[in-house]
Structure 1
Amino acid sequence: MNGDWRTAKKAQTRRSIQDHALRLFLAKGYEETTVEEIATAAGVSHMTFFRYFPRKEEVVEYDEYDPIMADFIVSRPPGESPLEAVRAAMRAGLEQILPTDRESILIRTNLLLSTPALQARNWIAQEATRDLIAGALSRRAGAPAPDLATSVQAAAIVAASGVAITAWAAEGGTRDLTTAVDDALAALAAITTPGAP
Protein backbone atom coordinates (compact mmCIF):
# COMPACT_ATOMS: atom_id res chain seq x y z
CA MET A 1 0.00 0.00 0.00
CA ASN A 2 2.82 2.40 0.88
CA GLY A 3 4.47 1.60 -2.46
CA ASP A 4 1.27 2.48 -4.30
CA TRP A 5 0.98 5.73 -2.36
CA ARG A 6 4.59 6.66 -3.14
CA THR A 7 4.11 5.87 -6.82
CA ALA A 8 0.95 8.00 -6.97
CA LYS A 9 2.68 10.84 -5.10
CA LYS A 10 5.62 10.78 -7.52
CA ALA A 11 3.27 10.82 -10.50
CA GLN A 12 1.39 13.75 -8.99
CA THR A 13 4.60 15.72 -8.39
CA ARG A 14 5.88 14.98 -11.90
CA ARG A 15 2.58 16.12 -13.40
CA SER A 16 2.55 19.29 -11.27
CA ILE A 17 6.08 20.25 -12.36
CA GLN A 18 5.21 19.63 -16.01
CA ASP A 19 1.94 21.59 -15.82
CA HIS A 20 3.65 24.61 -14.24
CA ALA A 21 6.48 24.42 -16.77
CA LEU A 22 4.08 24.40 -19.72
CA ARG A 23 2.21 27.41 -18.34
CA LEU A 24 5.48 29.32 -17.96
CA PHE A 25 6.65 28.31 -21.44
CA LEU A 26 3.40 29.66 -22.88
CA ALA A 27 3.68 32.91 -20.94
CA LYS A 28 7.43 33.60 -21.27
CA GLY A 29 8.76 31.28 -23.95
CA TYR A 30 10.77 28.08 -23.58
CA GLU A 31 14.24 29.61 -23.79
CA GLU A 32 13.39 32.45 -21.40
CA THR A 33 12.01 30.20 -18.65
CA THR A 34 14.52 28.90 -16.12
CA VAL A 35 14.45 25.68 -14.14
CA GLU A 36 14.44 27.76 -10.94
CA GLU A 37 11.26 29.54 -12.08
CA ILE A 38 9.56 26.23 -12.85
CA ALA A 39 10.58 24.75 -9.49
CA THR A 40 9.34 27.82 -7.60
CA ALA A 41 6.00 27.78 -9.43
CA ALA A 42 5.58 24.07 -8.68
CA GLY A 43 6.57 24.53 -5.01
CA VAL A 44 9.61 22.24 -5.20
CA SER A 45 13.38 22.76 -5.00
CA HIS A 46 15.44 22.87 -8.17
CA MET A 47 17.08 19.62 -7.00
CA THR A 48 13.65 17.99 -6.88
CA PHE A 49 13.02 19.24 -10.41
CA PHE A 50 16.20 17.49 -11.59
CA ARG A 51 15.21 14.27 -9.83
CA TYR A 52 12.14 14.11 -12.03
CA PHE A 53 13.53 15.78 -15.15
CA PRO A 54 17.33 15.54 -15.46
CA ARG A 55 17.27 18.13 -18.23
CA LYS A 56 14.93 21.00 -18.94
CA GLU A 57 14.02 19.54 -22.35
CA GLU A 58 12.60 16.46 -20.71
CA VAL A 59 9.80 18.39 -19.04
CA VAL A 60 8.39 18.92 -22.54
CA GLU A 61 9.23 15.49 -23.93
CA TYR A 62 7.95 13.37 -21.07
CA ASP A 63 4.65 11.56 -21.32
CA GLU A 64 3.31 8.36 -19.86
CA TYR A 65 1.32 7.45 -22.95
CA ASP A 66 3.71 5.22 -24.91
CA PRO A 67 3.74 2.38 -22.35
CA ILE A 68 -0.07 2.50 -22.26
CA MET A 69 -0.14 2.31 -26.07
CA ALA A 70 2.24 -0.67 -26.05
CA ASP A 71 -0.07 -2.55 -23.67
CA PHE A 72 -3.06 -1.81 -25.91
CA ILE A 73 -1.15 -3.15 -28.95
CA VAL A 74 -0.12 -6.38 -27.22
CA SER A 75 -3.71 -7.02 -26.08
CA ARG A 76 -5.28 -6.70 -29.55
CA PRO A 77 -6.90 -9.84 -31.05
CA PRO A 78 -4.41 -12.13 -32.84
CA GLY A 79 -6.41 -12.09 -36.09
CA GLU A 80 -5.70 -8.41 -36.72
CA SER A 81 -2.83 -7.32 -38.94
CA PRO A 82 -0.06 -5.32 -37.26
CA LEU A 83 -1.41 -2.09 -38.75
CA GLU A 84 -4.98 -2.88 -37.70
CA ALA A 85 -3.80 -3.67 -34.17
CA VAL A 86 -1.85 -0.42 -33.84
CA ARG A 87 -4.65 1.62 -35.38
CA ALA A 88 -7.17 0.22 -32.89
CA ALA A 89 -4.72 0.62 -30.00
CA MET A 90 -3.98 4.24 -30.88
CA ARG A 91 -7.68 4.99 -31.18
CA ALA A 92 -8.37 3.46 -27.76
CA GLY A 93 -5.38 5.18 -26.17
CA LEU A 94 -6.24 8.62 -27.51
CA GLU A 95 -9.86 8.26 -26.47
CA GLN A 96 -8.63 7.53 -22.95
CA ILE A 97 -6.11 10.37 -22.58
CA LEU A 98 -7.53 13.24 -24.63
CA PRO A 99 -10.45 14.12 -22.32
CA THR A 100 -7.98 15.15 -19.58
CA ASP A 101 -4.68 15.79 -21.41
CA ARG A 102 -5.63 17.36 -24.75
CA GLU A 103 -4.39 20.87 -23.88
CA SER A 104 -1.11 19.58 -22.47
CA ILE A 105 -0.49 17.45 -25.58
CA LEU A 106 -1.21 20.42 -27.85
CA ILE A 107 1.17 22.72 -25.95
CA ARG A 108 3.93 20.11 -25.84
CA THR A 109 3.54 19.31 -29.55
CA ASN A 110 3.76 22.97 -30.54
CA LEU A 111 6.83 23.45 -28.35
CA LEU A 112 8.54 20.39 -29.84
CA LEU A 113 7.83 21.58 -33.37
CA SER A 114 8.68 25.25 -32.94
CA THR A 115 11.61 25.32 -30.49
CA PRO A 116 15.02 24.75 -32.14
CA ALA A 117 16.48 23.34 -28.91
CA LEU A 118 13.79 20.66 -28.89
CA GLN A 119 13.49 19.78 -32.57
CA ALA A 120 16.49 17.44 -32.74
CA ARG A 121 15.41 15.69 -29.55
CA ASN A 122 11.96 15.21 -31.07
CA TRP A 123 13.55 12.94 -33.67
CA ILE A 124 15.11 10.90 -30.87
CA ALA A 125 11.73 10.66 -29.14
CA GLN A 126 10.13 9.43 -32.39
CA GLU A 127 12.80 6.75 -32.70
CA ALA A 128 12.03 5.63 -29.16
CA THR A 129 8.32 5.43 -30.01
CA ARG A 130 9.13 3.45 -33.15
CA ASP A 131 11.18 0.97 -31.10
CA LEU A 132 8.43 0.69 -28.50
CA ILE A 133 5.78 -0.05 -31.16
CA ALA A 134 8.07 -2.57 -32.88
CA GLY A 135 8.70 -4.25 -29.52
CA ALA A 136 4.97 -4.39 -28.76
CA LEU A 137 4.21 -5.91 -32.16
CA SER A 138 6.93 -8.51 -31.59
CA ARG A 139 5.56 -9.40 -28.15
CA ARG A 140 2.09 -9.70 -29.64
CA ALA A 141 3.44 -12.11 -32.27
CA GLY A 142 5.41 -14.09 -29.71
CA ALA A 143 8.74 -13.13 -31.30
CA PRO A 144 11.82 -12.54 -29.13
CA ALA A 145 12.71 -9.24 -30.84
CA PRO A 146 11.56 -7.08 -33.76
CA ASP A 147 12.68 -8.24 -37.19
CA LEU A 148 13.21 -5.96 -40.19
CA ALA A 149 9.58 -6.15 -41.30
CA THR A 150 8.26 -5.24 -37.85
CA SER A 151 10.70 -2.33 -37.55
CA VAL A 152 9.64 -1.02 -40.98
CA GLN A 153 5.96 -1.31 -40.02
CA ALA A 154 6.57 0.60 -36.80
CA ALA A 155 8.55 3.30 -38.60
CA ALA A 156 5.76 3.80 -41.16
CA ILE A 157 3.14 3.99 -38.39
CA VAL A 158 5.14 6.61 -36.45
CA ALA A 159 5.68 8.66 -39.61
CA ALA A 160 2.00 8.57 -40.58
CA SER A 161 0.71 9.40 -37.11
CA GLY A 162 3.36 12.13 -36.80
CA VAL A 163 2.01 13.84 -39.92
CA ALA A 164 -1.47 13.78 -38.41
CA ILE A 165 -0.33 15.13 -35.04
CA THR A 166 1.71 17.89 -36.71
CA ALA A 167 -1.27 18.96 -38.84
CA TRP A 168 -3.55 18.87 -35.78
CA ALA A 169 -1.18 21.11 -33.81
CA ALA A 170 -0.69 23.50 -36.74
CA GLU A 171 -4.47 23.94 -36.90
CA GLY A 172 -4.57 24.83 -33.20
CA GLY A 173 -6.09 21.51 -32.20
CA THR A 174 -9.41 22.36 -33.85
CA ARG A 175 -9.78 18.92 -35.44
CA ASP A 176 -10.38 15.73 -33.50
CA LEU A 177 -6.93 14.18 -32.95
CA THR A 178 -8.25 10.63 -32.68
CA THR A 179 -9.92 10.95 -36.08
CA ALA A 180 -6.84 12.60 -37.62
CA VAL A 181 -4.52 9.79 -36.49
CA ASP A 182 -7.05 7.14 -37.49
CA ASP A 183 -7.37 8.71 -40.96
CA ALA A 184 -3.58 8.84 -41.33
CA LEU A 185 -3.25 5.15 -40.51
CA ALA A 186 -6.14 4.36 -42.87
CA ALA A 187 -4.21 6.16 -45.62
CA LEU A 188 -1.19 4.01 -44.78
CA ALA A 189 -3.32 0.87 -44.99
CA ALA A 190 -4.60 1.95 -48.42
CA ILE A 191 -1.04 1.70 -49.82
CA THR A 192 -1.12 -2.08 -49.52
CA THR A 193 -4.88 -2.63 -49.50
CA PRO A 194 -6.59 -0.71 -52.33
CA GLY A 195 -9.96 0.57 -51.21
CA ALA A 196 -9.16 0.21 -47.49
CA PRO A 197 -11.25 2.53 -45.28
Structure 2
Amino acid sequence: MPAEPIHAESTRPGPDTAGRARPGLRERKKERTRSTIRREAFRLFHEQGYAATTVEQIADAAEISPSTFFRYFPSKEQVVLADDLDPIMIQRFRDQPVELSALEAFRRATLESFEALDPAEFAFERDRATFVATVPELRGVLAMEMDRNVDMIAELVAERSGRTPGDFEVRALAGALIGAAKAVLMDRDPFDPTAIARVIAFLESGMRL
Protein backbone atom coordinates (compact mmCIF):
# COMPACT_ATOMS: atom_id res chain seq x y z
CA MET A 1 0.00 0.00 0.00
CA PRO A 2 1.56 3.36 -0.98
CA ALA A 3 2.35 5.73 1.83
CA GLU A 4 0.20 8.80 2.22
CA PRO A 5 1.94 12.01 1.12
CA ILE A 6 3.33 13.99 4.02
CA HIS A 7 1.79 17.22 2.76
CA ALA A 8 -1.71 15.74 3.14
CA GLU A 9 -1.73 16.50 6.84
CA SER A 10 -0.07 19.27 8.80
CA THR A 11 2.34 18.35 11.57
CA ARG A 12 1.08 21.27 13.62
CA PRO A 13 -1.81 20.67 15.99
CA GLY A 14 -5.16 22.14 15.09
CA PRO A 15 -8.32 22.62 17.11
CA ASP A 16 -10.67 19.70 17.60
CA THR A 17 -14.43 20.01 17.67
CA ALA A 18 -14.29 21.17 21.30
CA GLY A 19 -11.82 23.91 20.47
CA ARG A 20 -8.88 22.19 22.16
CA ALA A 21 -5.47 21.67 20.58
CA ARG A 22 -5.36 18.47 18.57
CA PRO A 23 -2.13 16.41 18.66
CA GLY A 24 0.09 16.89 15.62
CA LEU A 25 0.85 14.25 13.01
CA ARG A 26 3.98 13.01 14.77
CA GLU A 27 2.16 12.55 18.08
CA ARG A 28 -0.70 10.74 16.37
CA LYS A 29 1.73 8.39 14.59
CA LYS A 30 3.44 7.63 17.90
CA GLU A 31 0.09 6.88 19.51
CA ARG A 32 -0.89 4.59 16.63
CA THR A 33 2.39 2.69 17.00
CA ARG A 34 1.90 2.39 20.75
CA SER A 35 -1.67 1.14 20.27
CA THR A 36 -0.52 -1.38 17.65
CA ILE A 37 2.13 -2.75 20.01
CA ARG A 38 -0.43 -3.27 22.76
CA ARG A 39 -3.06 -4.74 20.45
CA GLU A 40 -0.64 -7.24 18.90
CA ALA A 41 0.85 -8.09 22.29
CA PHE A 42 -2.53 -8.98 23.75
CA ARG A 43 -3.44 -10.98 20.66
CA LEU A 44 -0.29 -13.05 21.15
CA PHE A 45 -0.84 -13.34 24.90
CA HIS A 46 -4.29 -14.80 24.31
CA GLU A 47 -3.14 -17.09 21.49
CA GLN A 48 0.00 -18.59 23.02
CA GLY A 49 0.13 -17.43 26.64
CA TYR A 50 1.86 -14.56 28.38
CA ALA A 51 5.00 -16.46 29.42
CA ALA A 52 5.54 -17.93 25.93
CA THR A 53 5.32 -14.55 24.19
CA THR A 54 8.58 -12.67 23.68
CA VAL A 55 9.33 -9.03 23.01
CA GLU A 56 10.76 -10.08 19.64
CA GLN A 57 7.46 -11.73 18.68
CA ILE A 58 5.48 -8.68 19.72
CA ALA A 59 7.78 -6.39 17.75
CA ASP A 60 7.53 -8.61 14.67
CA ALA A 61 3.73 -8.68 14.88
CA ALA A 62 3.64 -4.89 15.22
CA GLU A 63 6.10 -4.54 12.31
CA ILE A 64 8.69 -2.68 14.35
CA SER A 65 12.15 -3.51 15.67
CA PRO A 66 12.74 -4.65 19.27
CA SER A 67 14.66 -1.41 19.87
CA THR A 68 11.56 0.54 18.81
CA PHE A 69 9.47 -1.57 21.19
CA PHE A 70 11.71 -0.51 24.07
CA ARG A 71 11.25 3.15 23.17
CA TYR A 72 7.57 2.71 24.00
CA PHE A 73 7.68 0.16 26.82
CA PRO A 74 10.62 -0.69 29.12
CA SER A 75 9.51 -4.32 29.44
CA LYS A 76 6.88 -6.85 28.40
CA GLU A 77 5.19 -6.43 31.77
CA GLN A 78 4.66 -2.73 31.17
CA VAL A 79 2.72 -3.45 27.97
CA VAL A 80 0.14 -5.03 30.25
CA LEU A 81 0.41 -2.78 33.29
CA ALA A 82 0.47 0.60 31.54
CA ASP A 83 -2.82 2.22 32.55
CA ASP A 84 -4.04 4.70 29.95
CA LEU A 85 -6.97 5.59 32.18
CA ASP A 86 -4.77 7.22 34.83
CA PRO A 87 -4.37 10.63 33.13
CA ILE A 88 -8.09 10.75 32.35
CA MET A 89 -9.02 9.73 35.88
CA ILE A 90 -6.68 12.26 37.48
CA GLN A 91 -8.09 15.12 35.42
CA ARG A 92 -11.71 14.06 36.02
CA PHE A 93 -11.04 13.85 39.76
CA ARG A 94 -9.51 17.33 39.82
CA ASP A 95 -12.51 18.67 37.92
CA GLN A 96 -15.04 17.51 40.55
CA PRO A 97 -16.76 20.17 42.70
CA VAL A 98 -14.82 20.98 45.85
CA GLU A 99 -17.84 20.37 48.09
CA LEU A 100 -17.86 16.64 47.26
CA SER A 101 -16.13 14.18 49.54
CA ALA A 102 -12.99 12.55 48.18
CA LEU A 103 -14.79 9.23 47.77
CA GLU A 104 -17.75 10.76 45.93
CA ALA A 105 -15.31 12.64 43.70
CA PHE A 106 -13.58 9.35 42.90
CA ARG A 107 -16.90 7.67 42.15
CA ARG A 108 -17.88 10.36 39.68
CA ALA A 109 -14.41 10.58 38.18
CA THR A 110 -14.33 6.82 37.62
CA LEU A 111 -17.69 6.69 35.89
CA GLU A 112 -16.91 9.76 33.78
CA SER A 113 -13.56 8.23 32.77
CA PHE A 114 -15.31 5.07 31.58
CA GLU A 115 -17.81 7.15 29.63
CA ALA A 116 -14.94 9.02 27.93
CA LEU A 117 -13.72 5.79 26.29
CA ASP A 118 -15.01 4.67 22.93
CA PRO A 119 -16.30 1.06 22.75
CA ALA A 120 -12.98 -0.34 21.46
CA GLU A 121 -10.98 1.43 24.18
CA PHE A 122 -13.42 0.29 26.85
CA ALA A 123 -13.21 -3.32 25.65
CA PHE A 124 -9.41 -3.20 25.60
CA GLU A 125 -9.15 -1.75 29.13
CA ARG A 126 -11.63 -4.28 30.47
CA ASP A 127 -9.68 -7.12 28.85
CA ARG A 128 -6.41 -5.72 30.20
CA ALA A 129 -7.72 -5.46 33.77
CA THR A 130 -9.09 -9.01 33.64
CA PHE A 131 -5.87 -10.33 32.14
CA VAL A 132 -3.71 -8.73 34.86
CA ALA A 133 -5.82 -10.36 37.55
CA THR A 134 -5.64 -13.86 36.07
CA VAL A 135 -2.02 -14.30 34.90
CA PRO A 136 0.12 -15.84 37.67
CA GLU A 137 3.34 -14.39 36.24
CA LEU A 138 2.00 -10.88 36.80
CA ARG A 139 1.03 -11.27 40.44
CA GLY A 140 4.34 -9.86 41.71
CA VAL A 141 4.29 -6.75 39.54
CA LEU A 142 0.58 -6.38 40.24
CA ALA A 143 1.37 -5.94 43.92
CA MET A 144 3.81 -3.16 43.05
CA GLU A 145 1.19 -1.61 40.80
CA MET A 146 -1.29 -1.56 43.67
CA ASP A 147 1.28 0.29 45.80
CA ARG A 148 1.65 2.81 42.98
CA ASN A 149 -2.11 3.29 42.84
CA VAL A 150 -2.28 3.89 46.59
CA ASP A 151 0.43 6.54 46.22
CA MET A 152 -1.41 8.16 43.31
CA ILE A 153 -4.70 8.34 45.18
CA ALA A 154 -2.98 9.63 48.31
CA GLU A 155 -1.43 12.42 46.23
CA LEU A 156 -4.82 13.40 44.80
CA VAL A 157 -6.63 13.25 48.15
CA ALA A 158 -3.87 15.30 49.77
CA GLU A 159 -4.09 17.87 47.00
CA ARG A 160 -7.85 18.12 47.45
CA SER A 161 -7.85 18.21 51.26
CA GLY A 162 -4.82 20.40 51.87
CA ARG A 163 -3.02 17.61 53.73
CA THR A 164 0.16 15.73 52.88
CA PRO A 165 0.30 12.43 50.94
CA GLY A 166 1.87 10.79 53.98
CA ASP A 167 -0.94 11.87 56.33
CA PHE A 168 -2.27 8.90 58.31
CA GLU A 169 -5.91 9.33 57.29
CA VAL A 170 -5.05 10.17 53.69
CA ARG A 171 -3.05 6.94 53.36
CA ALA A 172 -5.78 4.96 55.11
CA LEU A 173 -8.43 6.25 52.71
CA ALA A 174 -6.27 5.50 49.67
CA GLY A 175 -5.46 2.01 50.92
CA ALA A 176 -9.09 1.27 51.78
CA LEU A 177 -10.27 2.32 48.33
CA ILE A 178 -7.68 0.27 46.44
CA GLY A 179 -8.03 -2.73 48.76
CA ALA A 180 -11.82 -2.77 48.57
CA ALA A 181 -11.78 -2.41 44.80
CA LYS A 182 -9.33 -5.30 44.44
CA ALA A 183 -11.24 -7.56 46.85
CA VAL A 184 -14.57 -7.05 45.10
CA LEU A 185 -13.76 -6.33 41.45
CA MET A 186 -10.73 -8.41 40.51
CA ASP A 187 -12.65 -11.69 40.53
CA ARG A 188 -15.63 -10.15 38.73
CA ASP A 189 -15.96 -7.51 36.05
CA PRO A 190 -13.39 -4.80 36.93
CA PHE A 191 -15.27 -2.31 34.76
CA ASP A 192 -18.75 -2.83 36.22
CA PRO A 193 -19.97 0.73 37.02
CA THR A 194 -22.67 -0.56 39.40
CA ALA A 195 -20.16 -2.57 41.44
CA ILE A 196 -17.70 0.32 41.56
CA ALA A 197 -20.38 2.71 42.78
CA ARG A 198 -21.48 0.16 45.38
CA VAL A 199 -17.92 -0.29 46.70
CA ILE A 200 -17.45 3.45 47.13
CA ALA A 201 -20.90 3.91 48.68
CA PHE A 202 -20.12 1.15 51.19
CA LEU A 203 -16.84 2.81 52.15
CA GLU A 204 -18.53 6.19 52.45
CA SER A 205 -21.21 4.74 54.74
CA GLY A 206 -18.59 3.63 57.24
CA MET A 207 -18.70 0.00 56.03
CA ARG A 208 -21.73 -0.90 58.14
CA LEU A 209 -22.78 -4.52 57.61
Q: Which runs of 5+ in 1 are unaligned?
A: none
Q: Distance in 1 between matches of 2:183 and 2:123?
A: 19
2:64 is matched with 44
Structure 2 counterpart of 1:72, one-letter code? R
Q: Identify the residue that residue 22 of structure 1 maps to in structure 2.
A: 42
Does residue 157 (structure 1) correspond to residue 185 (structure 2)? The answer is: no
Higher RCO, 1 vs 2 (CA within 8 Å, ≥6 residues apart): 1
1:80, distance to aligned residue in structure 2 (A): 0.9
Greater percentage in helix: 1
Q: Please state how far the C-alpha of 1:167 moved relative to its aligned partner.
A: 3.1
Structure 2: give runs of 5+ residues left out of the alignment: 1-11, 14-22
Query: Matched residues in 2 for 1:164 and 1:66: separation?
Result: 20
Is this contact kept in 1: 2:111–2:193, CA < 8 A?
Answer: yes
| Corresponding residue number in structure 1 for 2:92 | 72
**Counterpart in 2 of 1:189?**
204
Shift of the 36–69 alpha-carbon distance from structure 1 to 2, 3 Å rule, reads same
Q: Give 1:190's aligned amino acid.
A: S
Aligned to 1:96: 116
CA deviation profile, 1:37-78 (whole Å, cap 9, x unmatched): 111111111111111111111111112111211111122111
Q: State the shift of 1:144 in Å.
A: 5.5
CA distance in 1, matches of 2:199, 2:181: 6
TM normalised by structure 2 equals: 0.81
**Aligned pairs for 1:82-161 within 5 A:** 82-97=102-117, 99-143=119-163, 145-161=165-181
Q: Write the distance in 2 (CA, Å) between the matches of 1:103 and 1:168.
A: 15
Does the CA-based 8 Å contact 1:71-1:136 persist in structure 2? no
Q: CA RMSD in A?
A: 2.2
Indicate the structure (1 or 2) with the bigger Cα radius of gyration.
2
Cα pair 1:73 1:137 within 8 Å, conserved: no
